[in-house]
Amino acid sequence: MFTGIITDLGRVRSASRNGDTRLEITTEFDTADISLGASISCSGVCLTVIDKGPHWFAVSVSAETLSCTTIGGWREGTGVNLERALKIGDELGGHIVSGHVDCVATVVSITPDGSSQRFLIEAPDGFHRYVAEKGSIAVDGVSLTVNEVEGGRFGVNLIPHTLSVTTLGQIDSGDRVNLEVDMLARYVARLLDKE
């Protein structure tokens, strides 16, 4: 489990595709303190550490994960939002994020809003029902508050700090992002479907 509060901005150091995709990602995390088998959120995707060295770790990405995330487009140099898994007693600054990406969404527009930027994002058909005004959503692993919802589109504001310490500051209109809906919304919708 994660909180959606990004604690490091890594970069893809190498990508090799033989069967599953192996990615090596640079980090400022103390990799001596990361166990093999540990979970790290990589732009919202919970991935398992399979190898590591000073200032880098490696993960293996299955075809299933490639099919429902943006990882298939990652190349050497791609920025990656990083967050280590929660430990008992850690501060919960964002919201509960599982690292199980629901879909890939598209950034429709980015407009200035004071010193912040307002992102308008379009979710694929079937996912907008999980997005609620003033609810939480994870965009590329970043915990954000939904400002408004209209049909399949929703808006979020990003403050300058978030733009500077995450990959979202490098996003343009038309770019695709990993989206994880709020876990509570997912389960409530599932329960309502059974009635």
- Domain boundaries in the chain? 8-84, 103-194
The pLDDT of residue 43 is: 98
- pLDDT above 70 covers a percentage of the chain that reads 98
pLDDT score, position 183: 80
Q: Find all residues with CB under 8 Å of 45, minimum gap 6, and list them.
A: 61, 65, 69, 71, 99, 101, 141, 178
Beta bridge partners of 111: 118
Whether residue 194 has pLDDT greater than 70: no
Dist. CA 170–CA 22, nearest whole Å: 24
State the architecture of 8-84 in CATH terms: Beta Barrel (2.40)
Confidence of residue 184 (pLDDT cuts 50, 70, 90): confident
187: its two tokens:
């389960």
Q: What is the mean pLDDT of residues 75-85?
A: 97
19 has a pLDDT exceeding 90: no
φ and ψ at residue 190, rounded to 5 degrees: -65, -45
Is the separation of the CB atoms in 80 and 12 below 8 Å?
yes
Average pLDDT over residues 40-69: 97
CA atoms of 70 and 139, how far apart (whole Å):
11
Fold of the domain built from segment(s) 103-194? Elongation Factor Tu (Ef-tu); domain 3 (2.40.30)
The confidence band for 146, taking pLDDT boundaries of 50, 70 and 90, is very high
Any idea which of 10-14, 67-71, 158-162, 182-186 has the lowest mean pLDDT? Answer: 182-186
**How far is the CA of 106 from the CAs of 73, 144, 153, 176, 178, in angstroms?**
14, 16, 9, 5, 9
Cβ count within 10 A of residue 102: 21
Quick check: 106 and 61 in contact, CB under 8 A? no
pLDDT of 171 higher than 60: yes
Query: Residue 52: pLDDT band by 50, 70, 90 thresholds?
Result: very high
Q: What is the mean pLDDT of residues 106-122?
A: 97
Same fold, 8-84 and 103-194: yes
- Per-residue pLDDT band for 195 (boundaries 50, 70, 90) equals low
